[in-house]
Amino acid sequence: MGPETLESLQKQAIDEVLAGYPAKAAKNRAKHLGVDSPEGVKGACDKTRSNKQTVPGVMSQRGCAYAGSKGVVWGPIKDMIHISHGPIGCGQYSRGGRRNYYIGTTGVDTFVTMNFSTDFNEKDIVFGGDKKLKKALEEIDELFPLNNGISIQSECPIGLIGDDIQAVAKVHKKETGHQTIAVSCEGFRGVSQSLGHHIANDMIRDHVMPDTSFRKDFEGTDYDVAIIGDYNIGGDAWSTRIILEEMGLRVIAQWSGDATYKELAIAPKAKLNLLHCYRSMNYISRHMEQEFGIPWMEYNFFGPSKTTESIRKIASFFDESIQKKAEEVIAKYTAMTDAVIAKYRPLLEGKKVMLYVGGLRPRHVIGAYEDLGMEVIGTGYEFAHGDDYKRTKEDISRSTLIYDDANEYELEEFVKKLRPDLVAAGVKEKYVFQKMGLPFRQMHSWDYSGPYHGYDAFAIFARDMDLAMNSPVWDHTTAPWDKEA
Amino acid sequence: MQDVENIVNGQKLFLKPEYQEVLQRKKQFEGSMGAIDPKKVDEVQEWTKSWEYREKNLAREAITVNPAKACQPLGAIMVGLGFENTMPYVHGSHGCVAYFRSYFTRHFKEPTPCVSDSMSESAAVFGGLSNMKDGIRNCNALYKPEMISVSTTCMAEVIGDDLNAFVIGAREEAEGELDNTEITYAHTPSFVGSHITGYDNMMKATLEQLNPARSERVEDAERINIIPGFEPYLGSLKEVKNIAKMFSDKIVMLGDHEEQWDTGAGEYKLYAGGTPLADAKTAINAKTTISLQKYSTVATAKTIKNKWKQGYETCNPIGLSGTDEFVMKLSELTGKEVPAELKTQRAKLVDAMQDSYPYMHGKKFAIWGDPDFLLGLVSFIVEMGGIPTHVLCHNAPRKGWEDDMKAVLAKSNRADECNIWAGKDLWHLRSLLFTEPVDFMIGNVYGKELYRDTKIPLIRIGFPIFDRHHLHRYSMSGYEGGINLLTWITNGILDQLDEETKHIGETDYFFDAVR
């Protein structure tokens, strides 16, 4: 498929998708869809409309502000208890779904995979839930004495009935001395999980950053860094951390996968903030730059090319000793990743991929696929902003279909039209495409494999893509009696 | 570092010494005292296993920890997907729908169609009418359903959106596009009841709204409706239909989601199977409706009994006596003798129970799940001579359930050792398991943390089950479902026996080839 054919197919795909909508919705959706290529002057990456209200009545893949705050940012902080404040459902549906790995004694000093809920009933809606919340905080402290703080994650009704959870948190903190943070991340706020990230960051800014108690005795070094925006899905932050440590850096905090409250509180002592998921944590990085003068840089640890590039970029912030070690680390791992590429590239070369994920992955993972000779022909975000699309431009290397807030209908039509060899998206999409006989990988959860960040993780990524593409199961989709002779 | 010849994922990668060092080094930054004090952790952990802790834990009033229930719209969506070419539509934020779809998808390993009208701040202020007007129209244009099944989220309920008026408004605005589309709707506030309440509300609404007034009822003396309830076992739906077919071809399942979550590879279609709308619209004409889940159909029952003045029965065809009652009920209602095939099936189940009973006899079980599921499963365990030491129902209805469960347990010759825990959560259960241990747990995926803490083996039966594949394809209902239950539980016990006797030179004197 030549580049021109691909581009015209992509444009046709958009036209056909839009034709299915009523006029009003088509007009709206047209602004979220487009084609871009690296050489293009102003393509979809510059012009795509994003971070806007989802068209009503479609099967959107988006989540809500609560999902962004509790599910992404706060939930993985392991030694705090995060209360899903409101009706029972939200906490239950988000329980254990994101694979935020951590080490600890669950239920005693660690609480990530547990579900704490104020389980609202009608009475709480009518009379307000503040008293119940206060009581819940007391019960938590009694039954879980090793918790290092509580966050209150608001579900939809809280903001609507006008409960003053900030006041409840303040009183509890005053009475007990325990950190207690109320987060107004009601699901109806904003247009997606994105606003939840922002709200969550603001609460960390307002309540955790001013806590200097752990910083007083902290002995810093010139090489202290913090990992920001890594949720340790399948252990990603650990396979990142090992590289940074081998470079001679000291990782003093991990945000927020496998994080503890103390790590967040000492983070202002870092010399450099390393930001992986720009979308979810650029806010706190900017704040720490402003307030504490900590520079931040984005990096990309997907695939050896981007990892190596990022390591050099990180090292350039430090002195020659670090730069020397960085080169040693690169050399050490490149031998291994070269062997991985030699093994898997011949099996994957030229395969076409369509991506649809959230956060940073629609752009960050492109390089990892390219390291294996695969081509990304379509990508999009569930909840990106304009700056994410601008960043995407740097990562695309051929005519690429760009779709913002794509829904089930659009994805299905795009895939049918462009016939990629692999679709990489989330669990809700997985079985739709597998039924069509298309290899699929879940790129939110690494399909229960991983980690995918760093050099060691690339070996897993390559093996998983081979597993996806070259499994014999895909040969069975068509029955023998339906196969052409 | 990875070895290209033997690439391992995190399971083994992080056990490599270089990663163990990384994890150790991280500890210095973690805890408030330089590191989390392991002695203190052990001390508190031991305390959480004590009677003292249990008492404090059971006295909880405000915080729920590790619930065993979900919220209303989840059940409403299951109802929608049980009717032919029907799109469930949630009036509220799309965040909820993303959760519902993921939850079902993870259980069934199948796509779950459901749309929302993406309400946000502006809807919170002005109401969700404009979302509904656009949303119904877009849904209809894109997904071409025969029916749209509208439920609500807690947000829509708190702001007080009036679905009846909104649906009328949406129809009026749609320039005739919706004239051939059925729209059924129910209020399903998440802060009332649980997912089974949502099932009930949506089923009741669907039946009421699709059927004519009672004055137009034309009774069909042969027709019988069956409502399955919130049934996560697709095989159970199939089994119930198979049994029904042996008696009459005029028995209709209302809300049959079997095929929707069990489609083949080759192509993807949004809708599969389901009760034909023609059958749903004539439900009122049946002589009798049988509900297989009494507590998932409390409101629905009122409509059928009081408004429709139709015969109404409840049967719970899980286990031997539950299936016997169902079969006899069908026999009575159809006037047909129990078919030979069923008699054979029953005999085979009893035979199997007699083959395996020594392993279940006297074993203590902790079981949790939905009210009707528990009534059926506990009944089976009692039939096998097992002891349901802890029966925990987080979403137990206020009325009736405990008495029903007591009646089931009364049949046990060890009834005084059985405890019913209504309205309790799985963190309560943890205390119960440490203070009054059992031999086996039966429950859903959330039991795996209890397994890790208590080491009590978990036999996975219930909803949701995310971490084992294909169990939902089997039946729990009918005589054949009874054999499945027997197989799962007995073999769970045998697996544990093998596990405990596998240690070479220590316990393997009892490691037998024949069990």
B18-59 pLDDT, tens per residue?
999 999 999 999 986 545 788 999 999 999 999 999 999 999
Residue B450 in tokens = 């209890």
Return residues 446-475 of B near A (CB < 8 Å).
446, 449, 452-453, 466
How far, in Å, are A11, A197, B103, B160, B268 from residue B77 at the CA level? 35, 29, 12, 21, 20
Mean pLDDT computed over B256-284? 97
The Cα of B307 is separated from the nearest Cα of chain A by a number of Å equal to: 27
Instruction: List CB contacts (< 8 A) between B199 and chain A.
Output: none
Among A439, A435, A446, A402, smallest CA distance to A423 is for A439
What is the rounded end-to-end Cα distance, in angstroms, of chain B? 45
Which H or E element spans position A300? Answer: none
Letter for the amino acid at B232? P
Alpha carbon of residue B91 to chain centroid: 23
ipTM given for this complex: 0.97
Cβ separation of A21 and B142 shorter than 8 Å? yes
In terms of CATH architecture, what is B216-341? 3-Layer(aba) Sandwich (3.40)
Question: What's residue B421's pLDDT?
Answer: 98
Residue-wise pLDDT tens digits, B352-406? 999 999 999 999 999 999 999 999 999 999 999 999 999 999 999 999 999 999 9
The Cα of B357 is separated from the nearest Cα of chain A by a number of Å equal to: 36
The Cα of B139 is separated from the nearest Cα of chain A by a number of Å equal to: 5
SS (H, E, C) B101-141: HHHHHHHHCCCCCCEECCCCHHHHHHCCHHHHHHHHHHHHH
Preferred mutation among B2, B5, B136 to probe A, highest tally of A CBs within 10 A: B2
Cβ–Cβ contact B155 with A under 8 A: yes
Q: Where do we find the tokens 């083959």?
A: B355
Mean pLDDT computed over A344-358? 97
Where would I find the H helices in A177-269?
193-203, 236-246, 261-266
Instruction: List CB contacts (< 8 A) between B32 and chain A.
Output: 148, 214, 261-262
Cβ separation of A456 and B153 shorter than 8 Å? no
pLDDT higher than 60, residue A1: no
Residue-wise pLDDT tens digits, A292-308? 999 999 999 999 999 99
- Angle at which helices B371-383 and B478-500 cross, to 10°: 70
Residues A105, B46: contact at Cβ < 8 Å? no
Active-site residue A185, yes or no?
no
Instruction: List CB contacts (< 8 A) between A118 and chain B.
Output: 62-64
Q: Considering just the CA atoms, what is the radius of gyration of chain A in Å? A: 23
CATH number belonging to domain B72-210: 3.40.50.1980
Mean pLDDT score of chain B: 97
SS3 A436: coil
Where would I find the H helices in A54-151?
65-66, 89-93, 122-127, 130-143
Preferred mutation among A126, A131, A143, A453 to probe B, highest tally of B CBs within 10 A: A143
Catalytic residues of B: 154, 158
How far, in Å, are A166, A467, B9, B211 from residue A341 at the CA level? 53, 15, 17, 63
Closest Cα in chain B to A145 = B44
How far, in Å, are A371, A375, B22, B60, B143 from residue A349 at the CA level? 9, 8, 35, 59, 36
Instruction: List CB contacts (< 8 A) between A96 and chain B.
Output: 445, 466
What is the phi/psi pair of residue B312, to 5°? -140, 130
Return residues 180-199 of B near A (CB < 8 Å).
189-192, 194
Which H or E element spans position A427? Answer: helix A427-435
Question: Which residue from A24, A160, A426 is facing B159, i.e. has the nearest CB?
Answer: A160
Q: Considering just the CA atoms, what is the radius of gyration of chain B in Å? A: 25
Residue-wise pLDDT tens digits, B442-467? 999 999 999 999 999 999 999 999 99
Asked if domains A6-60+348-444 and A224-339 share a fold, the reply is yes
Question: What's residue B35's pLDDT?
Answer: 58
Residues A360, A343: contact at Cβ < 8 Å? no
The confidence band for A117, taking pLDDT boundaries of 50, 70 and 90, is very high
> Which segments of B258-348 are extended strands (E)?
286-291, 311-314
d(CA B94, CA B185): 18
pLDDT higher than 60, residue A3: no
Which H or E element spans position B304? Answer: none
Q: A33-36 and A400-404 as β-strands: parallel, antiparallel, unpaired?
A: antiparallel
Mean pLDDT computed over A27-43? 93
Instruction: List CB contacts (< 8 A) between B136 and chain A.
Output: 57
Cβ separation of A89 and B113 shorter than 8 Å? no
CB pairs under 8 A between A and B: 345
Domain boundaries, chain A: 6-60+348-444, 65-208, 224-339
The confidence band for A485, taking pLDDT boundaries of 50, 70 and 90, is low
Mean pLDDT computed over B198-224? 97
pLDDT higher than 60, residue A121: yes
Cβ separation of B124 and A431 shorter than 8 Å? no
pLDDT higher than 80, residue B234: yes
What is the rounded end-to-end Cα distance, in angstroms, of chain A? 26
Among B217, B243, B390, smallest CA distance to B308 is for B217
d(CA B468, CA B471): 7
CA dihedral B228, B232, B234, B239 (to 10 degrees): -50
The confidence band for A37, taking pLDDT boundaries of 50, 70 and 90, is very high
Instruction: List CB contacts (< 8 A) between B115 and chain A.
Output: 57-59
Active-site residue A136, yes or no?
no
Question: What's residue B36's pLDDT?
Answer: 74
Percent of chain B whose predicted confidence (pLDDT) is above 70: 99
Residues contacting residue B151 through CB under 8 Å, at least 6 positions apart: B72, B73, B76, B77, B80, B88, B89, B90, B91, B185, B186, B187, B188, B198, B201, B202
Whether pTM > 0.90 for this model: the answer is yes
Cβ separation of A140 and B63 shorter than 8 Å? yes
Domain boundaries, chain B: 72-210, 216-341, 355-502
Cβ separation of B268 and A190 shorter than 8 Å? no
Cβ–Cβ contact B497 with A under 8 A: no
d(CA B303, CA B283): 12
- What's the CA angle centered on A236, arms A234 and A240, to 5 degrees? 155
Question: What's residue A2's pLDDT?
Answer: 58
From the candidates A98, A241, A287, A364, which is the catalytic residue?
Answer: A98
In terms of CATH architecture, what is A6-60+348-444? 3-Layer(aba) Sandwich (3.40)
Preferred mutation among A59, A245, A337, A435 to probe B, highest tally of B CBs within 10 A: A59
Question: What's residue B252's pLDDT?
Answer: 98
pLDDT higher than 80, residue A98: yes
Q: Which fold has domain A65-208?
A: Rossmann fold (3.40.50)
Question: Which residue from A86, A115, A139 is facing B154, i.e. has the nearest CB?
Answer: A86
Question: Which residue from A58, A62, A332 is facing B115, i.e. has the nearest CB?
Answer: A58
Cβ separation of B2 and A125 shorter than 8 Å? no
Cβ separation of A62 and B98 shorter than 8 Å? yes
The confidence band for A39, taking pLDDT boundaries of 50, 70 and 90, is confident
Residue B104 in tokens = 């079902």
d(CA A157, CA A329): 51
Closest Cα in chain A to B114 = A59
Mean pLDDT score of chain A: 97
Q: Which CATH number fits domain B355-502: 3.40.50.1980, 2.160.10.10, 3.40.50.920, 3.30.70.260?
A: 3.40.50.1980
Which H or E element spans position A211? Answer: none
Closest Cα in chain B to A259 = B30
In terms of CATH architecture, what is A224-339? 3-Layer(aba) Sandwich (3.40)
- What's the CA angle centered on B484, arms B483 and B485, to 5 degrees? 90
